[in-house]
Structure 1
Amino acid sequence: MTSPAPRRSSEGTKMAEAEDSSKPLFAGLSDVSISEDIPVEGEITVPVGTQSQDEDSSTLDEPVKETIMRDLKAVGKKFVHVMYPRKSSALLRDWDLWGPLVLCVTLALMLQGESADSKEEGAPQFAEVFVIIWFGAVIITLNSKLLGGTISFFQSLCVLGYCILPLTVALFVCRLVVLLGSGGLVGFIVRLVIVTAMFAWSIFASTAFLADSQPPNRKALAIYPIFLFYFVISWMILTFTAGSIEKPGKN
């Protein structure tokens, strides 16, 4: 005959488990009491200021005149930063493409006027200048990103476009020299000096904003395409203004 002891032990364990399961999980926490001597203080604040800031920054109800004036002031400040280049994040932080677009169209229109009398060369010249500037800026930006640059695509386009401003000034001055009748070798030397100075200014201004975004051992590889980009634009300005001198003689 077998002993009934194992059954009793198993029944006892089942009853113990049933009693344990009937107890609440955190029964011991009911004995914990918070003393009245401990102060319980706190504040619940609603961030009302954030909502007001969002409402203030909204431009949906802003007059069109104020929006245009604000954008024009922002573009003007970027032009000032280019003409007085220094290490600043203004062009990188608040980037836009309005300034580069205006400068590109201005260059294209003024260079278009150089050969407006030529039906064969006058039509595609605007497109040539426009494509050279934007395609060149895109290639330089891609090169910068492949070299490990830390700025975004549109930030680089913004800097490269705004730094065309010295060359645009050089084109205005060269056209003025041509209109004043300063031809020959002296006029060419004057235009060459002006274009060279503005070319160096564009290089210096662009590198002042873009140099720190490149790895230290790859800065030369990033600056070389920028040099070629502004050199091509400078060459176009110099050659086109020089070519206009021959027109009065032909007539």
Structure 2
Amino acid sequence: MAGSDDSMTKLDLYETYDGAVEGDMNVPGRPKTQILGEPGFNTLDEPIRVTVARDLKAVGVKFKHVLYPTEKKSLLKEWDLWGPLLLCTFMAMMLQGSESADDNDGGPEFAEVFVIVWIGAMVVTVNSKLLGGNISFFQSVCVLGYCLLPTTIALIVCRLILMTEQSYFLFTLRFFVTIIGFAWATFASVLFLGDSQPPGRKALAVYPIFLFYFIISWLVLSHTVE
């Protein structure tokens, strides 16, 4: 009887496990159960425009949190690299047009932005991890990339200023716009990443972030001179 009970118990466990597996499958007409934080929807069954619209909305929400950084965990909950890719590509295209076609075709400037943004973000992230940061690699890259938004806005303003005849006042105006973008980007990124560092090593983690946005801001100020 004991052996029979054990067999029945194993059979019941097998049926229960098999039912749970089937419950996780996408079967038409059956609701999908949400287990271990998995999404309760299937993106394969929805139109492409709905998926794109949802992703763009998520990117817009993250941009809003960068401009008005009140929720420290907003960029860390669901990281993505769409926003950083859009900002990096846009900045590379804008900086590419800063040189005349006779002197340079703009290729190095385009590649330079990509190298500085992605390699720079990776170096800052590795430094943060070596210092004992409790944040994942892609979360850190996501935050650093999204926080390029103030610098990107400064680049747009500088390009608009360059459409007029240049003067000392306009150069000073571009300088202050770039400084504001640099300060806001640094402030937002430190606000998002500051709590992930040990208390005694925050200064060592902030310094590379400062250099990262300083170099990009220098590109914005110097490469927009016609």
5 Å matches for 1:116-155?
116-120=100-104, 122-155=106-139
Q: For the Cα contact (< 8 Å) 1:88–1:209, is it kept in 2?
A: yes
Q: For the Cα contact (< 8 Å) 1:191–1:238, is it kept in 2?
A: yes
Distance in 2 (CA, whole Å) between partners of 1:206 and 1:121 is: 33
Superimposed CA distance per residue, residues 177-200 of structure 1 (whole angstroms, 9 cap, x where no aligned partner): 11133x121011100110101110
Q: For the Cα contact (< 8 Å) 1:85–1:204, is it kept in 2?
A: no
Question: Who is 1:234 aligned against?
Answer: 217
Structure 1 residues 205-214 or 46-55, which shifts more? Answer: 46-55
Paired letter, 2:146? Y
TM-score norm. by structure 2 comes to 0.82
Q: 1:117 offset after TM fit, Å?
A: 1.6
Cα pair distance change 1:110/1:218, threshold 3 Å: same
Superimposed CA distance per residue, residues 141-184 of structure 1 (whole angstroms, 9 cap, x where no aligned partner): 00000000001000000000000000000000001011133x12
Provide the secondary structure at the position in 2 that maps to 1:180.
Answer: coil
Distance in 2 (CA, whole Å) between partners of 1:188 and 1:166 is: 19
Structure 2 residue 91 is the aligned partner of structure 1 residue 107: yes
Q: 1:56 offset after TM fit, Å?
A: 4.0
The one of 162, 168, 176 aligned to 1:193: 176
5 Å matches for 1:217-228?
217-228=200-211
Question: Who is 1:11 aligned against?
Answer: none
Distance in 1 (CA, whole Å) between partners of 2:120 and 2:102 is: 26
Question: Who is 1:52 aligned against?
Answer: 32
5 Å matches for 1:19-168?
52-54=32-34, 56-120=40-104, 122-168=106-152
Structure 1 residues 111-120 or 140-149, which shifts more? Answer: 111-120
Coordinate RMSD, CA, aligned: 2.0
TM-score norm. by structure 1 comes to 0.74
Paired letter, 1:52? K
Question: Who is 1:5 aligned against?
Answer: none
Superimposed CA distance per residue, residues 68-111 of structure 1 (whole angstroms, 9 cap, x where no aligned partner): 00000000000000000124212111100000000000010000
Provide the secondary structure at the position in 1 that maps to 2:46.
Answer: coil
Distance in 1 (CA, whole Å) between partners of 2:102 and 2:93 is: 15
Structure 1 residues 138-147 or 119-128, which shifts more? Answer: 119-128
Distance in 2 (CA, whole Å) between partners of 1:133 and 1:97 is: 12
Q: For the Cα contact (< 8 Å) 1:87–1:208, is it kept in 2?
A: no
Any gaps of 5 or more consecutive residues in structure 1? 1-43, 245-251
**Higher Cα Rg, which structure:** 1
Structure 1 residues 152-161 or 107-116, which shifts more? Answer: 107-116
Q: For the Cα contact (< 8 Å) 1:86–1:205, is it kept in 2?
A: no
Provide the secondary structure at the position in 2 that maps to 1:114.
Answer: coil
Provide the secondary structure at the position in 2 that maps to 1:106.
Answer: helix
